Structure 1
Amino acid sequence: MPRPPAPARPRRTQAERTQSTQRKLIDGAIDLLKKKRYASFRTAEVAEHAGVSKGAQTHHFPSKDMLVLQALEEVYRRTQQRAINRIEAGRDAPERLLEQLVADSREFFLGDDFLLSLDLMMVDPGSTLGSDVKRLAQLYRLPVEQAWLDALVEAGHPERQAKDVVRLTFAIARGFGVRQLIAGEDEEFQHLMDSWMRMAKAMLLLSSSPSAHADQGASGSSVSRPSRASPPRRTRKKDPS
């Protein structure tokens, strides 16, 4: 008995085809920016890398900088979502929140995502691209820092110590990320972060102890909890003029 024909796949809508093409171009741009950096980045290579015609690439992203900004925003969006996922996992196990913070800072600052964003940060800050790159960093990275701070405060740690721990963790990882550009990968990073985690745990434990709260109450000081950060809305691609 002959097999019945397979049901025809529904045709994609124009919006779905547009989204698929843009996704290929953005992913291709991210790959090439990580390999070649901004100075050697060419949109024609992106179209070839993504398997998209040059005409389609020009239609969706008429300029090099427009495509670069969309690629950077996508990188920031993904790294922000990974941070949020780690924070949620840490809320289920507050004792592991610091480990999640260190893992998040390591993945971002010692990875290609940070090097890509750092390369674009070196663009002339007075240019339109330079100001847009800075705006995206503020839009996505500062809320990540705030979200980690909120999570530590919600876990019962005073704001001052929590802020110190978050910013110092990011500063150490960021410094090693820059050092990689000079000397390559450094096996000492894990040793340094292990030492820092012991100090950070001590800071948080001491500041959260009953005696510390008693001293704080006696001094009359109070700590206001910051508002919880929420992920920013994605910026729309400007229509070509």
Structure 2
Amino acid sequence: MSNSRDPKQTGQRLSGTLQSPAPRQKLRSRRESSSEPKYAPRRTQAERSETTRKQLLDAATKLIRQKGFGGLRTIEVASVAGVSRGALMHHFPSKHALVVAVLTYVNEVTFAQSTRRAQLARSSKDPIAEIIKDAQDFFLGDYFFIELAIAMSDESTRRLRRETHQFTRQTRFSIEAAWLDTLVSSGIPRQLASDVLSLTLSAVRGFSVRMLIENDPEQFTRLMNVWRGIVRQHLASAIPGKLRKQGRKS
């Protein structure tokens, strides 16, 4: 017997090996493997543009707060935002357009935040405390000082003040109306609620100006607690019966 193998059979085995689909199957299994890295979908041009715009608005807001309206330089805004001067000019072709956009942005954020708080405060046992907190965040924060800086700028900004005065005024009135509705919904007569709201906002606004010469948060907290006590006593004496008891508990 010969130990040699039939060359035809050998050739068939070799050809079978060469034609084996195993490598291709292996490649497919890798592609279908759950370990394949996942990539986030690419942002659209509109999304990238909106991100750049918000970066510029945030940078301008920060710089106006730090340096005032007169110290605002568009080239510095682009630098702080981390974008090119060309990108800034694409979104805001002038300093005037940039500042109008900043104030619009500031008012939109303030309105959304404050009206949401006013709605949530309808279930609060102490809506006056909620009003003080909301007013504190605005009047002692950056946004109010930005509006104040522009309002107190020189005559060269008359056109800017004229363009922005109406919508900033309307934003504050709309926020006050939302808080007034919250107080009325708690059972306080509308005129009394209006008086309490106006006095509370005036007190917080007055402290915001005082902060320019004396930054004393502890004093602010203490005096606002005194004011809340005064309001509770006033409401208890002004609202008879059931509402008087409610005023004492709050």
TM-score, scaled to structure 2: 0.77
The letter of the residue matching 1:99 is A
Q: Deviations over 1:4-57 (max 9, x none)?
A: 432333222221121111111111111111111111001111111111110010
Does residue 156 in structure 1 map to residue 171 in structure 2? no
User: Which residue, out of 149, 153, 160, partners 1:119?
Assistant: 149
User: Which residue matches 2:234?
Assistant: 203
- Deviation of 1:212 after TM superposition, in Å, equals 9.3
User: Which residue matches 2:171?
Assistant: 140
Larger Rg: 2
**CA–CA distance in structure 1, aligned partners of residues 106 and 232 of structure 2:** 30
**CA–CA distance in structure 2, aligned partners of residues 166 and 120 of structure 1:** 26
- Deviation of 1:211 after TM superposition, in Å, equals 9.3
Q: Which runs of 4+ in 1 moved over 4 A?
A: 1-4
The letter of the residue matching 1:154 is S
Q: Deviations over 1:93-121 (max 9, x none)?
A: 2x221110111111211222221211111
Relative contact order (C-alpha < 8 Å, sep 6+): which is higher? 1
Can you give the 5+ residue segments of structure 1 that lack an aligned partner in the other structure? 214-241
User: Which residue matches 2:22?
Assistant: none
Does residue 177 in structure 1 map to residue 208 in structure 2? yes
- Deviation of 1:207 after TM superposition, in Å, equals 2.9
- Deviation of 1:86 after TM superposition, in Å, equals 2.0
- Deviation of 1:124 after TM superposition, in Å, equals 4.7
User: Which residue, out of 83, 89, 98, partners 2:120?
Assistant: 89
The letter of the residue matching 2:185 is E
User: Which residue, out of 52, 56, 60, partners 1:29?
Assistant: 60
**CA–CA distance in structure 1, aligned partners of residues 62 and 44 of structure 2:** 27
Over aligned residues, Cα RMSD in angstroms? Answer: 2.3
Stretch moving more, 116-125 or 24-33: 116-125
**CA–CA distance in structure 2, aligned partners of residues 40 and 185 of structure 1:** 27
User: Which residue, out of 124, 129, 136, partners 1:99?
Assistant: 129
User: Which residue matches 2:26?
Assistant: none
- Deviation of 1:81 after TM superposition, in Å, equals 2.3
Can you give the 5+ residue segments of structure 2 that lack an aligned partner in the other structure? 1-28, 245-250
Specify the SS of the correspondent of 2:213: helix
Specify the SS of the correspondent of 1:40: coil
Q: Is the 8 A contact 2:122 2:182 kept in 1?
A: yes
User: Which residue matches 1:59?
Assistant: 90
**CA–CA distance in structure 1, aligned partners of residues 56 and 217 of structure 2:** 33
Does residue 68 in structure 1 map to residue 99 in structure 2? yes
User: Which residue matches 1:216?
Assistant: none
**CA–CA distance in structure 2, aligned partners of residues 211 and 100 of structure 1:** 22
**CA–CA distance in structure 2, aligned partners of residues 211 and 50 of structure 1:** 56
- Deviation of 1:145 after TM superposition, in Å, equals 0.9
